Amino acid sequence: MADSAQDVFKELESLDKELLVHEAAAKKVFDAARKGMRSAIDDESADEIALALPPLDAAIVKIDQNLDACTRMHAKTAEVMKHPEFVATHKAELSRIVTHYGHKRKEFSDMAKDARSLKDEARKASATSEKGARETEADLGGLKNRAVKIAADILECKKQIPKLDAAARAATDKGNEKDAEKARLQIFDLMAQPKRRVGELRPLFLKFKAEHPDLDRDQKSDLQDVADGLQDADDTLEDGQKRFMALIKYKQQAAADNAQRPPAPLEVPKSELIKVAPIVGIDPKDAKALVLLAKLFHTIPPDKWLVALPKLQTQLKIKPVNGKLMVEKIMKLPFFKRQPELAH
| pLDDT value for 238 | 95
**pTM metric for this prediction:** 0.48
- For residues 11 and 126, membership in a common domain is answered with yes
> 273-322: per-residue pLDDT in tens?
999 999 999 999 999 999 999 999 888 888 888 899 999 999 999 888 78
Residue 73 lies in a domain: yes
Domain that includes residue 50, residue range: 5-135
Q: Smallest Cα–Cα separation from 146: which of 185, 81, 209, 196?
A: 196
Return the CA Rg of the chain.
52
- For residues 107 and 209, membership in a common domain is answered with no
- For residues 229 and 298, membership in a common domain is answered with no
| pLDDT value for 322 | 82
| pLDDT value for 1 | 41
| pLDDT value for 343 | 56
Residue 265 lies in a domain: no
- For residues 187 and 131, membership in a common domain is answered with no
- For residues 121 and 176, membership in a common domain is answered with no
Report the distance separating Cα 27 and Cα 65, nearest Å.
12
| pLDDT value for 344 | 47
Residue 193 lies in a domain: yes
| pLDDT value for 262 | 61
Residue at which a domain ends, from 210, 229, 260: 260
- For residues 216 and 313, membership in a common domain is answered with no
- For residues 144 and 186, membership in a common domain is answered with yes
- For residues 144 and 128, membership in a common domain is answered with no
Residue at which a domain ends, from 260, 283, 299: 260
**Mean pLDDT score of the chain:** 86
Report the distance separating Cα 42 and Cα 55, nearest Å.
17
Q: Smallest Cα–Cα separation from 184: which of 169, 196, 174?
A: 169
Dihedral pair phi/psi, residue 261, rounded to 5°: -75, 130
| pLDDT value for 170 | 92
For CA atoms 223, 228, 230, 233, the dihedral sign is: negative
Report the distance separating Cα 193 and Cα 182, nearest Å.
18
**Residue segments in the chain with a per-residue pLDDT below the cut of 50:** 1, 344
Structural domain count, the chain = 3
Kindly list the distances between the CA atom of residue 276 and the CA atoms of 237, 272, 282, 299, 325, in Å, as whole numbers in the listed order: 57, 6, 8, 16, 13
Kindly list the distances between the CA atom of residue 204 and the CA atoms of 41, 114, 148, 198, 224, in Å, as whole numbers in the listed order: 28, 42, 15, 10, 14
In angstroms, how far is the first alpha carbon of the chain from the final one? Answer: 140
Burial class (CB within 10 angstroms; exposed 0-12, middle 13-18, buried 19+) of 118: buried
Residue at which a domain ends, from 119, 135, 151: 135
